[in-house]
Chain A
C-alpha cells in the first residue's frame, strides 16, 4: 500500500520507535518567539543543558511588539519578556530577527519568507498557528513550552502517530472569494473539532490553482478545527516560491532537495483514515457571528436562532455567544455595524492580502466612526508594500499604517479594542476577549475587511466595483 504525504515526512523523521507507540521524531526547524520560550530557556539553564542545534533554531519577537513604535515598549512586563528573549538568544547562540532587524515579523510570516520553511521538513514552534508552514509540504505543528524546552535540548519530540484526514477542496475561487473564505466556510460547515487527532492533507482541484500565500492562509487555520497540522503537497508553485530565498539550499544542495521534494505527494493507493470533500465553487464571502471560528456563514445570511440548535448544549453555546457579541437572532449580517477594522495577523498579513485590500480601498474613504488599521506581517512585507505604494492608498483612505507584529490579533500589545465595540478582523480567532476584554470580533477575508471599513458595516465585497479584484 502506498503512503500519504504525511506518512512520508513522518517516516523520514523517526529517530526511534518505541513498542508502546511513541516515536522520537527529529525536528528540522524550531521557530521561537518571546511569549512561550522564556520558561523553556530557564529550564535549560536550570538543568545546565544547551541548545542542541542552534543553527536549526530561529527566533523573532512578534506577540508583544508595539506597532506604532516597536522599540518603545511601555509595558514593563512585556519589555522584560522581549529583553529575556534577546538575552536567551545571545546566551544560547540562537539567531534572532530582533526589533532592529530588517527581517523581523510574525514568526509564521518570516519562516517562509526567509526560506527557513521548506518542503519535507518537520517544523515546530510554541504557537498553535505553526500549521501555516504545512502549505509547503512540511509537517508543522504547535507545541507547549515544555516541548519547546525538549526540542531546544534534544532537537526531538516524543509523538504518537496521528490519524490522517484528506480534505478535497474542489472547484475554483470565484470573483471576490478568497482562501480565507474557503477555510472559514469549511469550519462553519464541519465544526471546530472535526480535525482533532488528525493531520490533514488538503487536496482537490483547488490547491494547484492557489498561490503559496493563499495556501498558507488555509493551512494556518487548520488548528481552528482542531487538526494537529495541515499539509499540502509541494508542486512547481512551491519550488518557485522557495528558490533563491535567504536560508534555502543552493547549488548542489538545491538540486538534491528538489529531487527529494518531487516525491512528496500522497501515492495513488495511499489510505486516509477519513476522506471528506468541500466544494468551493458556490462559496459566498464568509463572516463569523459568534465566539469561535465555526460560528459563521455567508455575509448574505442572518444571525442564527438558538432555538434551531440540534441540542440544548449547542443552544446554550449559541445563546452565550450572541449575548457576548450583542447580537439578536435573525439580524442580517450585512446590517451589523463595525467600529474597528484590523488587516493583519499570521493568517492574512502577506503582500497579496495587502494588495487585495488596497484594491478595494483605492480612491475611497474609511466610513465615519470606523478606526481602521493595516499591520503588515513582517518588515519585508511592509517594505514591499511601500515600494508598490500600497501604504499611500491605505493612508489616503484613512487607515493607519503600522509596523509589523501580531498586533490586534490577540491584543498582547497596545492594540486592543474597547469592550462592547466590534471589529471586522482578518485574524484567526473570534474567542471572547481575544482582541480585548468585551471586544466583539468578526473574522473575514482582507477583501471583506476592506469593504467593511469603507461601508461601516459588513457588505458583500462582490457588489463593490473594483479594479483587479478577483481573488
Chain B
C-alpha cells in the first residue's frame, strides 16, 4: 500500500448529507473481480446523465474541481453497503484524503486499507471551510498526517486526530496481515482453548 505522510492537493467540496456507497459506486459496477479501474465509475449516476453525457452541475464535473485530490464531504459520508469498491473508486479517481464531520464505520476502516486518509473535523469547522471555499477564498490544502494538521492556502489551520495504530500503518504503508502474522503464537494459543460453540459442526 502507498504510504501517506503529507499530501498537498486541490480540494473539491460536496455539500450533501449521508452520501451512501451506492452513490459512490453504483451496484452495476461491483461485478468485476479486479481491484483497479473503478475511478471511471465513481459517482456514476450523479456524474453522468442517463444518456452517458456528463452532468455539468455535478460537483466533480465543474472546471474548478478538475484535478482535485481532497474531498470535503459532509455528515455520515460512506454510509450503507460495506463495498470496498467505494474506496477503490475514490482512490483510482485520484482522491487521497476525504474530510467530513462524520463517516460511516465500515467505509472509514476501508479507507485506511487503501492509502486513503479519512479525517473527521468538527461540524462548525466544516461549515467554515465549505463557506469560504464556495466564495473562492481557497483552492488547495496540505494535509500532514505526521503533525495531524490541515492547512488551506488561505490560512486555515486545523488540527485533527487519527487513531495511533491506523496512523502508523498509513504513514508506513503497512499491510495488516503481515503485522497480524507476528502474533501467530497468540492466535494458536487462543485456538487451542476455544469453546464448543465456536466451532462449525
Residues of A in contact with B (beta carbons under 8 Å apart): 12, 15-16, 18, 20-22, 24, 26, 28-29, 35-36, 38-39, 42, 47, 49, 55-56, 58, 63-64, 75, 77-78, 80-81, 84, 115-116, 118-121, 126-128, 130, 141-147, 149-150, 153-156, 158, 160, 192-193, 196-197, 223, 226, 228, 247-250, 252-254, 256-257, 260-261, 292, 313-314, 316-317, 320, 410-412, 419, 429, 431-434, 437-438
Is the beta-carbon distance between A80 and B163 smaller than 8 angstroms? no
Q: Which chain A residue shows the least CB distance to B181?
A: A154
- List chain A residues, Cβ under 8 A from B23: 431-433
Is the beta-carbon distance between B176 and A196 smaller than 8 angstroms? no
Render B159-190 as a binary contact track against A, CB cut-off 8 A, 1 for contact.
00001110010000000110111010011001
Instruction: Tell which of B14-22, B53-61, B141-149 binds the partner.
Output: B14-22
- List chain B residues, Cβ under 8 A from A120: 195, 197-198
Is the beta-carbon distance between B82 and A143 smaller than 8 angstroms? yes
Q: Contacts A128-B80, A431-B80 given; indicate if A156 touches B200 (C-beta within 8 A).
A: no
Instruction: Tell which of B4-12, B64-72, B103-111 binds the partner.
Output: B103-111
Within residues 30 to 59 of chain B, which ones have a CB less than 8 A from any CB in chain A? 30-35, 45, 50
Is the beta-carbon distance between B200 and A116 smaller than 8 angstroms? yes
Is the beta-carbon distance between A193 and B187 smaller than 8 angstroms? no
B152 adjacent to chain A (CB < 8 Å): no
Among B23, B87, B109, B200, the most chain A Cβ lie within 10 Å of the Cβ of: B200
User: Once the chains are docked, how many angstroms separate the CA of A16 from the CA of B182?
Assistant: 11
Q: Which chain B residue shows the least CB distance to A127?
A: B82
Among B30, B85, B183, B191, the most chain A Cβ lie within 10 Å of the Cβ of: B30
Q: Which chain A residue shows the least CB distance to B182?
A: A16
Is the beta-carbon distance between B187 and A155 smaller than 8 angstroms? yes
A73 to chain B, nearest CB (A): 10
- Please name 10 pairs of A and B residues whose Cβ atoms are closer than 8 Å in the assembled complex, sorted by A: A15-B186, A21-B165, A29-B200, A81-B31, A128-B81, A193-B79, A226-B79, A419-B50, A434-B22, A437-B50
- List chain B residues, Cβ under 8 A from A145: 35, 84-85, 110
User: Once the chains are docked, how many angstroms separate the CA of A77 from the CA of B81?
Assistant: 20
- List chain B residues, Cβ under 8 A from A64: 31
- List chain A residues, Cβ under 8 A from B74: 313
Q: Which chain A residue shows the least CB distance to B81?
A: A128
Is the beta-carbon distance between A35 and B30 smaller than 8 angstroms? yes
User: Once the chains are docked, how many angstroms separate the CA of A21 from the CA of B161?
Assistant: 14
- List chain B residues, Cβ under 8 A from A292: 18, 20, 79
Is the beta-carbon distance between A21 and B114 smaller than 8 angstroms? no
- List chain B residues, Cβ under 8 A from A56: 199-200
Within residues 90 to 113 of chain B, which ones have a CB less than 8 A from any CB in chain A? 102-106, 109-110, 113
Is the beta-carbon distance between A49 and B105 smaller than 8 angstroms? no
Is the beta-carbon distance between A146 and B26 smaller than 8 angstroms? no
User: Once the chains are docked, how many angstroms separate the CA of A252 from the CA of B196?
Assistant: 9
**Count, A-B residue pairs, CB within 8 A:** 216
Is the beta-carbon distance between A39 and B196 smaller than 8 angstroms? no
- List chain A residues, Cβ under 8 A from B186: 15-16, 24
B157 adjacent to chain A (CB < 8 Å): no
Is the beta-carbon distance between A121 and B102 smaller than 8 angstroms? no
Q: Contacts A26-B187, A84-B33, A226-B104 given; indicate if A247 touches B200 (C-beta within 8 A).
A: yes
Q: Which chain A residue shows the least CB distance to B74?
A: A313
Q: Contacts A21-B165, A192-B76 given; indicate if A249 touches B197 (C-beta within 8 A).
A: yes
A63 to chain B, nearest CB (A): 8
Is the beta-carbon distance between A77 and B32 smaller than 8 angstroms? yes
Is the beta-carbon distance between B197 and A438 smaller than 8 angstroms? no
A430 to chain B, nearest CB (A): 10
Q: Which chain B residue shows the least CB distance to A438?
A: B50
* Other-chain residue from B79, B105, B163, B180 in contact with A192 (beta carbon distance below 8 A): B79
Q: Which chain A residue shows the least CB distance to B183?
A: A16
User: Once the chains are docked, how many angstroms separate the CA of A28 from the CA of B196?
Assistant: 11
Q: Which chain B residue shows the least CB distance to A253?
A: B196
- List chain B residues, Cβ under 8 A from A116: 200
User: Once the chains are docked, how many angstroms separate the CA of A145 from the CA of B23?
Assistant: 18
Q: Which chain B residue shows the least CB distance to A261?
A: B197
User: Once the chains are docked, how many angstroms separate the CA of A317 from the CA of B23?
Assistant: 14
Is the beta-carbon distance between A320 and B201 smaller than 8 angstroms? no
B10 to chain A, nearest CB (A): 24
Is the beta-carbon distance between A26 and B190 smaller than 8 angstroms? yes
Q: Which chain B residue shows the least CB distance to A58?
A: B200
User: Once the chains are docked, how many angstroms separate the CA of A35 from the CA of B201?
Assistant: 26
User: Once the chains are docked, how many angstroms separate the CA of A394 from the CA of B106?
Assistant: 38
Is the beta-carbon distance between A15 and B106 smaller than 8 angstroms? no
Is the beta-carbon distance between A260 and B18 smaller than 8 angstroms? no
- List chain B residues, Cβ under 8 A from A419: 50
- List chain A residues, Cβ under 8 A from B201: 115, 247-250, 253
B140 adjacent to chain A (CB < 8 Å): no
B90 to chain A, nearest CB (A): 13
- List chain A residues, Cβ under 8 A from B33: 38-39, 42, 80-81, 84
User: Once the chains are docked, how many angstroms separate the CA of A174 from the CA of B197?
Assistant: 36
B83 adjacent to chain A (CB < 8 Å): yes
User: Once the chains are docked, how many angstroms separate the CA of A313 from the CA of B198?
Assistant: 46
Is the beta-carbon distance between A144 and B81 smaller than 8 angstroms? no
Q: Contacts A145-B35, A156-B180 given; 10 further ones with Cβ under 8 A?
A: A12-B195, A16-B183, A47-B177, A55-B199, A56-B199, A193-B104, A256-B195, A257-B197, A412-B27, A412-B28
